[in-house]
Amino acid sequence: MNEELKTILLDTLKSTFGIDIVSVESPYDFITITVKKDKVVEIVSHLYDHEKLQFQFLTDLTASHYPDDKEQLEVVYHLHSLVNNIRVRIKARLSIGTPEIATLTGVFAGANWMERETFDNLGVVFKGHPNLKRILNVDDMIIFPLRKEFPLEDQVRLDKNDTMFGR
Amino acid sequence: MAIVIKSNNDIIESEQKEYTTLNLGPTHPATHGIFQNVLKMDGEIIVDSEPTIGYIHRAFEKLAERRPYYQITTLTDRLNYCSSPINNMGWHMTVEKLIKAEIPKRVEYMRVIIMELSRIADHIVCNSVIGVDTGAMTGFLYIFQMRERIYEIFEEICGARLTTNIGRIGGFERDFSPAAWAKINKFVEDFPAALKEFDKLLMRNRIFMDRVIGCGPISAERALNYGFTGPNLRAAGVDYDVRVATPYSSYQDFDFIIPVGTGGDTFDRFMVRDQEMWESLSIIKQAIQKMPSGPFHGDVPEFYLPEKADVYNNMEALIYHFKIVMGEIGVPKGEVYHSVEGGNGELGFYMVSDGGRTPYRLHFRRPCFIYYQAYHEMIKGGLLSDAILTMSSMNVIAGELDA
């Protein structure tokens, strides 16, 4: 990754949203910024409009579930600046009780189905989304299947020991 | 000069008019896959549409959380099944990135050959089906012989044709056999004539051009905003290609151009895919010519199954064999995103590993899923028959759409 742009990225985020940045990491050379959940849209719009950075492409939007953490759900955004060819990953943590975060559809039209998929699988509610309903699973499903409380194996089977055969 | 009917996005719904509701799908023969569109029609003009997807959702992301790494390759086969080797190798490279494996140059070149062959196969399907949907069956029948030849090459290398499960984490299960090389060389020799014939049938064909120019267009701004990638984005005029932007598998060693279009309509998509086939052919030729010698797999004993003879005679090999099959290997903790240029665009793998035998979380960035949401905008105000063409030229693959 281009060091100069990396510095610009971190400087602009720190100067504009200093207290809202929870952590900055770089696993496998992929800059990862964890932010407070109510600031995600503001930060993404800021990176979108920044004249040098121009993160104007939403590569991916998804979420993961970490049942052992206090804030269990983690929404993950992958942004790409096609002009500079740099990528950034933005994360925000939500509690499982109120899994609400503002929608990104106002910035990226492509966020529409990605958010619907994330809602469908993990139950993240994107506030302000124009059409937040299930997309891949059946409409009358009552669970969010990618959450970790739904293991894959048939739970009534006693012959399978989870410590021996996977999670 | 025929009159080209351009789609009109300013179409206004009127209270006095009566509209017809038309169910296109879920299993309509013209949509080449299982997806439904409920269309609101004013005569033959589409006023509005509501897509429904998920008919073949197989919960790959959930299944992957229960499978050891080497067993996930077969899930990726079933994403974009027109070019499954690209998905397989994208997944292998993701795991190799996670374990920081070093892969020999020869493996990377062999992968490039396979990936470009499958890109050709993918584009053959898409382009010839555009021909079929415009009423030209001949091109489809002729060029599909070449697709068959590509599948024979895959069969020679891995034993399977469609859902290939080709290669392993770390390389290939065996080196290309002399028969495989002979088939690849024969294909490279014969393909230009076949593709030229196909081009002659359609590319400057007046009827075809009148039919597809201006059909289902999308601007570069909208395409980017919708997250388009691959040939559909390049047809709109954006030169983004993962092979060039973030080179993987030694793509930086090869000389090729990224064809781009201007209008983002069906003809541009057709032309971009056609030119990409020529570029892929050139990449394959370069890879054959520059093919380095060396091993056909990397030194990753914890992931790559040892030789069967060693398993019987060598204790270390037996231990590794057991560990791999039982999924007891040590995987580092980490979070990776790796993407490859699939047949339809950027195929991304976002993986979180907690050190267990399976991924903690695996998300596939499926290009189809992301660009299909623009479909309703692209067909609005156009004719029903144009909607069919737009869909086939976008190359929407149900397997990739629904994961």
Residue B2 confidence (pLDDT) above 80: no
Q: What is the pLDDT of residues B146-188, one digit of tens each?
A: 999 999 999 999 989 998 989 889 889 889 999 999 999 999 9
Residue B311 confidence (pLDDT) above 50: yes
Q: What is the pLDDT of residues B65-122, one digit of tens each?
A: 888 888 899 999 999 888 899 999 999 999 999 999 899 999 999 999 999 999 999 9
Asked if the structure places residue A83 within a domain, the reply is yes
Asked if the structure places residue B6 within a domain, the reply is no
Asked if the structure places residue A141 within a domain, the reply is no
When mean pLDDT is compared across B200-214, B281-295, B322-336, the lowest value belongs to: B322-336
**B chain contacts of residue A30, beta-carbon cutoff 8 Å:** 335-337
User: Over chain B, what is the mean pLDDT?
Assistant: 89
Q: What pLDDT, on a 0 to 100 scale, did the predictor assign at position A21?
A: 84
Asked if the structure places residue A34 within a domain, the reply is yes
Q: List helix spans (H) across B84-241.
A: 84-99, 105-133, 137-158, 178-202, 206-212, 220-225, 230-235
CB B389 within 8 A of CB B132: no
Asked if the structure places residue A158 within a domain, the reply is no
CB B255 within 8 A of CB B102: no
Q: What is the pTM of this model?
A: 0.91
Domain containing B349 equals 60-402
CA distance B212 to B133: 10
Q: What pLDDT, on a 0 to 100 scale, did the predictor assign at position B330?
A: 78
Residue B327 confidence (pLDDT) above 80: no
Residue B354 CA: distances (Å) to CA of A40, A78, B14, B331, B361? 26, 20, 56, 8, 9
The pair of structure tokens assigned to B14 is: 């009127």
When mean pLDDT is compared across B2-11, B28-37, B122-131, B141-150, the lowest value belongs to: B2-11
Domain count, chain A: 1
Task: Sort A7 into a burial class: Cβ within 10 Å, 0-12 / 13-18 / 19+.
Answer: exposed
Asked if the structure places residue B367 within a domain, the reply is yes
Q: Tell me how far the alpha carbon of residue A99 is from its chain's centroid.
A: 12
Asked if the structure places residue B8 within a domain, the reply is no
Asked if the structure places residue A39 within a domain, the reply is yes
State the pLDDT confidence band at B1, using cuts at 50, 70 and 90.
very low
Q: List helix spans (H) across B160-247.
A: 178-202, 206-212, 220-225, 230-235, 242-245
**A chain contacts of residue B68, beta-carbon cutoff 8 Å:** 166
CB B259 within 8 A of CB B276: yes
Min Cα–Cα distance to chain A from B59, Å:
9
Asked if the structure places residue B263 within a domain, the reply is yes
Q: What pLDDT, on a 0 to 100 scale, did the predictor assign at position A167?
A: 45
Task: Fill in the DSSP letter of residue B297.
Answer: B
Query: Would you call A112 an interface residue with chain B, using a CB distance cutoff of 8 Å?
Result: yes
Asked if the structure places residue B243 within a domain, the reply is yes
Binary contact (B365, A146; C-beta < 8 A): no
Residue B15 confidence (pLDDT) above 70: no
SS3 at position A34: strand
What is the CATH classification number for the domain harbouring A41?
Answer: 3.30.460.80
User: Which one of B361, B366, B377, B396 makes the best mutation probe of the A interface by having the most chain A beta carbons within 10 Å?
Assistant: B361
State the pLDDT confidence band at A7, using cuts at 50, 70 and 90.
confident
CB nearest A110 (choices: B53, B227, B363): B227
**B chain contacts of residue A112, beta-carbon cutoff 8 Å:** 373
Q: What is the pLDDT of residues A113-138, one digit of tens each?
A: 999 999 999 999 999 999 899 999 88
Is the sign of the CA dihedral B306, B307, B310, B312 positive or negative? positive
Q: What pLDDT, on a 0 to 100 scale, did the predictor assign at position B18?
A: 83
Asked if the structure places residue A62 within a domain, the reply is yes
Domain containing A7 equals 3-103
* Token pair 């490039």 in the structure block, residue: B112
What is the CATH classification number for the domain harbouring B267?
Answer: 1.10.645.10
CB nearest A166 (choices: B348, B357, B361): B357
High-pLDDT (> 90) share of chain B, %: 50
Asked if the structure places residue A167 within a domain, the reply is no
Q: What pLDDT, on a 0 to 100 scale, did the predictor assign at position A159?
A: 60
Mean pLDDT for the stretch of residues B306-313: 90
Residue B336 confidence (pLDDT) above 90: yes
CB nearest A110 (choices: B61, B225, B334): B225
Binary contact (B350, A78; C-beta < 8 A): yes
Q: What pLDDT, on a 0 to 100 scale, did the predictor assign at position A148?
A: 87
- Rg of chain B (C-alpha set): 22
CA distance B53 to B30: 16
- Rg of chain A (C-alpha set): 18
SS3 at position B225: helix
Domain count, chain B: 1
* Token pair 């996977």 in the structure block, residue: A166
Q: What pLDDT, on a 0 to 100 scale, did the predictor assign at position A155?
A: 53
Q: How many CB pairs under 8 A join A and B?
A: 102
CB A81 within 8 A of CB A70: no
Asked if the structure places residue B4 within a domain, the reply is no
Residue type, A77: Y
**A chain contacts of residue B336, beta-carbon cutoff 8 Å:** 27-28, 30
